[in-house]
């Protein structure tokens, strides 16, 4: 069964590229709309949640904080081309973000992050069934 990925970004072109690149390996849902992203969080329907940091309605940090509260077992990835390294490092060390990837993302790095996320979610599910 494919791992599910939800990617929230205000750049529709990047979402399309992501979808085309990874759709054979992952069940992917994307949106540029905050309301849709928040609805996804209420369903908690993604193993891996990706968010851009710099968006018009909400910061990626805020969105991933909501994700960590509503979907605590999700693997969370932040993307940004504008982050202050200290700010992002703090979010990683406090567990809000599992991985930070600079934009524009490279396919190899994104693939590694998704594989790591899939493995982390799989091990959490395995430990719950014990």
The answer to the question of residue 83 being in a domain is: yes
> Looking at the domain assignment, is residue 78 inside a domain?
yes
What pLDDT is recorded for position 3?
95
For residue 107, tell me if it sits in a domain: yes
pLDDT band, residue 67 (cuts 50/70/90): very high
Q: Domain for residue 129, yes or no?
A: no
Could you give the angle at which helices 60-70 and 85-93 cross, rounded to 10 degrees? 0
> What is the separation, in whole angstroms, between the first and last Cα of the chain?
20
Q: What is the percentage of the chain residues whose pLDDT exceeds 70? A: 85
Q: How many domains does the chain have?
A: 1
Within a domain: 48: yes
pLDDT score at 129: 41
Burial of 5 (0-12, 13-18, 19+ CB in 10 A): buried
Categorize the per-residue pLDDT at 111 as very low, low, confident or very high, splitting at 50, 70 and 90.
Answer: very high
CATH of residue 101 = 3.40.50.2300
Where is pLDDT greater, at 15 or 53? 15
Q: What is the pTM of this model?
A: 0.89
Asked whether residue 7 is domain-assigned, the answer is yes
Q: Which range of residues forms the domain containing residue 34?
A: 3-124
Q: Is residue 130 part of a domain?
A: no
Flag whether 80 is in a domain. Answer: yes
Whether the pLDDT of residue 17 is over 90: the answer is: yes
Across the chain, mean pLDDT equals 88
């Amino acid at each position: 069964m494919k791992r599910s990925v939800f990617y929230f970004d205000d750049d529709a072109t990047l979402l399309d590229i992501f979808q085309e690149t990874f759709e054979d390996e992952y069940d992917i849902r994307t949106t540029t709309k905050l309301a849709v992203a928040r609805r996804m969080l209420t369903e908690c329907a993604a193993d891996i949640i990706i968010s851009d940091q710099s968006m018009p309605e909400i910061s990626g940090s805020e969105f991933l904080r909501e994700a960590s509260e509503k979907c605590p077992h999700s693997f969370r990835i932040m993307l940004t081309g504008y982050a202050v390294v200290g700010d992002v490092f703090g979010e990683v060390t406090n567990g809000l973000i599992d991985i930070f990837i600079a934009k524009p993302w490279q396919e190899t790095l994104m693939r590694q992050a998704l594989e790591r996320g899939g493995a982390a979610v799989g091990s959490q599910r395995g430990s719950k069934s014990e």
